[in-house]
Each structure stands twice: as structure tokens, then as C-alpha cells.
A and B are shown apart, each in its own frame.
Chain A
């Protein structure tokens, strides 16, 4: 029996971004998502965030720390900025993240689009 699909109208780019971020962080070898200025300002408060145009959904996309998700014609595209653990092979980690996000997006009822992974840092896991 296949997994029940969530109604498409409930799925927005913010939810896909959150799903992608959680999936990435649960993948062995991913240390963190890389912070962005928008994410930092969002934590400071709405007033700081209003000075920037993002993270809006003017173009159907949602941006937060290290993740951008866009839904267009039922297809979800994700861009992810990650840091990986030097004890793992970065490309293997990135491919696992891609595969897992692809599967998890397909469970939402949307079509998984391109999933672009950017490895911004490779470093030892903090003590």
C-alpha cells in the first residue's frame, strides 16, 4: 500500500524547505546548514527582516538558513547549502541528501524537481 498523499493545497515552499532542511540534518555526515543573512535577521526579529525583500514568496520560493525551496506547476525544486563532516566523503553525503529529499518530496504529492546541493564547508565535527 502506498503512502497517503497530503492534499497539494497544503504544501507550500516553506514546508518543502523545512522538509529538506530536516532531511539533510538527519543524513549522516551533514554537520549543519550554512547560515544566511536572511536567516540571521529572521532570528533577530521581524523589524530587521523587513529591511530585506526575502524571505518572501513573491516568486513562489522560500529561503531560510541554507535552504531555498521553490514550487512551480506542482514541481518542487530545492537548493541546499551544507557543511559536511571531514570523516565522511562529501560527495557520498551530498548524494544521500539528494536521494532522501527526492523521496520525501515525492511523499508530499509534488513532483521532485532538481535538487542542488552546495557543499560550502568540510570540517571536523566539533568536540
Chain B
């Protein structure tokens, strides 16, 4: 048998029900029920104390975070996001080198900011490892190949094919310069137009 341990008033209502409406005017039942009126009176004092304590905490300099604490928390949070999805881009004699999808993503977005009339939207990156060529003997033999699926919004009135070509060329230059691997396949989708 399930036991209900919710405190109830003499009229059968739970104290939680009264508390839920404490910042509202009394209901019809509460206007005539002495149990509810007593409970409301006591709970109103509790509510006043709670509000006072909350306001006091908000303005208490002792409870303010130390300078830099919020930033440190955000730095950790961002780093945890970056740790999420990582792509193996090189295996050397000493170990592996991975790059986070976030790092690649931000490099692509930085490149896109150089192209007028383009707003970045979603970017998805896959990586495929090409099979070894018989002539390749170095640690870089298994060259990764990126497949970038980049969705953007374009300014209304621009020459879209020309602008997208410029964007693709910019990304094709930025990735080898910033990371050291070929950009691979760059699929760009203009999914929306925006007014300038």
C-alpha cells in the first residue's frame, strides 16, 4: 500500500496547494475555510522571509562571485563542449593528433566572415581516411579527407554562385593554412536569404 506523507489540513487540502497560491488572492474556498486561512497567514510570513532572504543574497557583496570566476566557469564549459567530437587527423611516430569539430567549425566561420553577403548557419564536418598509397611511407600516409557540409544565408540581391565560389575558395585556403590538411569536399547550401 502506498503511503501518502503529504501534510494535509483539516479540510483535506495539502499544504503544497495552499503554498502554490500564496501570491494570489484567496480562492472562494480559502475565504471561508479557517484551516486554509490559518495556513495562509503562516505561509505568508514564510513567503515574506523567503523574499527578504533572496533579496538580501542578491545584494550581499559577500555572495558575489570573485572577479574572473564566472569567466573561469565559462572557459571550462566551452572546453567541455570542444572535447565533444574530435577527428583524428594524423598519426605520427609519437602518437596521434586529433582536432575538435568545434575548432574546424570556428576556422570555417572565421573564413566566412571575410565574404560579404554571407551569414554562417550550421556546419557539419565528417572525416574519411584515405587508404595508403603504395608510394607513401611516412607517418602522414593515411591522409584524412574532410567532407564539409556548410549551410549559409545569403544577402538578397548578391550574385549567389559567384559569392559561394568565393566562400568555397576562402575555406579551401583557410584549412590548409590553419590546420595543415587539405580542405577536401566543401558542400555549401544557401538555405535562406536575408535583407541587407
Contacts and interface: CB of A to CB of B under 8 A. Distances in A.
Given A37-B76, A40-B73, A117 B103 contact: no
Interface residues of B, number: 30
A102 B177 CA distance: 26
Nearest to A86: B178
Interface-centre pick from B72, B73, B96, B106 (highest chain A CB count, 10 A): B96
A68 interface: no
B94 A114 contact: yes
A118 B102 CA distance: 12
A81 B107 CA distance: 18
Interface stretch (A9-17, A53-61, A119-127): A119-127
Contact of B100 (A37, A116, A118): A118
B80 A37 contact: yes
Interface in B174-194: 176-181
A122 B92 CA distance: 20
A90 B95 contact: no
The A interface is mostly helix, strand or loop, or mixed, namely mixed
A115 B98 contact: no
Given A40-B72, A120-B103, A91 B79 contact: no
B170 interface: no
B110 A112 contact: no
A95 interface: yes
A122 B96 contact: no
Given A117-B96, A118-B97, 16 more contacts: A36-B76, A37-B76, A39-B76, A40-B76, A86-B178, A90-B179, A91-B97, A91-B181, A95-B90, A114-B96, A116-B97, A117-B98, A118-B100, A119-B99, A120-B82, A120-B100
Interface of B: 72-73, 75-76, 79-80, 82-83, 86, 89-90, 92, 94-100, 102-103, 106-107, 110, 176-181
